[in-house]
């Protein structure tokens, strides 16, 4: 079985729920505390590709810090812009992001994990 990687924020309820779901199902996984060890632009580019579709799904647009940073929650950011934004404002990454092999999901709601399991 391929090990999963979860990009986790311990303060986030959904992120904690995703970890619980993985533990309950005894799914081997690695936890990356992305706020403690910010992700490189290369890793962020990889995540954007793995999630596929709209890269904007990786942005926490409703977070008050999004507007505080002068960002427009209505704008459709390109993949390159999403990478640049998350490299500068890592706390604005939607969570949890769970990766299995070449695929990833933003596990909100946590049932989206089932797409990988």
Looking at residue 53, what is its pLDDT?
93
Using 70 as the pLDDT threshold, list the residues of the chain that sit under it.
1-2
pLDDT, tens digit, 9 for 90 and up, residues 73-92: 999 999 999 999 999 999 99
Rounded to two decimals, what is the model's pTM? 0.93
Q: What is the pLDDT of residue 51?
A: 96
Tell me how far apart the alpha carbons of residues 117 and 115 are, in angstroms, rounded to a whole number. 6
Structure tokens at 32: 């990356």
Q: Let me know how long the chain is.
A: 117
pLDDT of 117 reads: 86
CATH of the domain at 90: 3.40.30.10
What is the distance between the alpha carbons of residues 82 and 44, in angstroms, rounded to a whole number?
9
Indicate the DSSP class of residue 34.
T
Query: What pLDDT does residue 94 have?
Result: 97
Catalytic residues: 12
Q: DSSP 3-state assignment of 45?
A: helix
How many whole angstroms separate alpha carbon 92 and alpha carbon 85? 8
Q: Can you give the pLDDT at residue 85?
A: 97
Q: For residue 35, what are the domain limits? A: 4-115
As for how many domains the chain has, the answer is 1
Return the pLDDT at 1.
59
């Amino acid at each position: 079985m391929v090990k999963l990687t979860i990009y986790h924020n311990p303060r986030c309820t959904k992120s904690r729920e995703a970890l619980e779901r993985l533990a309950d199902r005894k799914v081997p996984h690695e936890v990356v505390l992305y706020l403690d060890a910010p992700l490189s632009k290369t890793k962020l580019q990889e995540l954007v590709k793995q999630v596929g579709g709209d890269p904007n799904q990786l942005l926490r647009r409703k977070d008050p810090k999004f507007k505080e940073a002068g960002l427009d929650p209505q704008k459709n950011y390109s993949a390159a812009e999403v990478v640049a934004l998350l490299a500068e404002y890592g706390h604005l990454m939607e969570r949890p992001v769970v990766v299995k092999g070449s695929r990833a999901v933003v596990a909100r709601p946590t049932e989206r994990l089932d797409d990988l399991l």
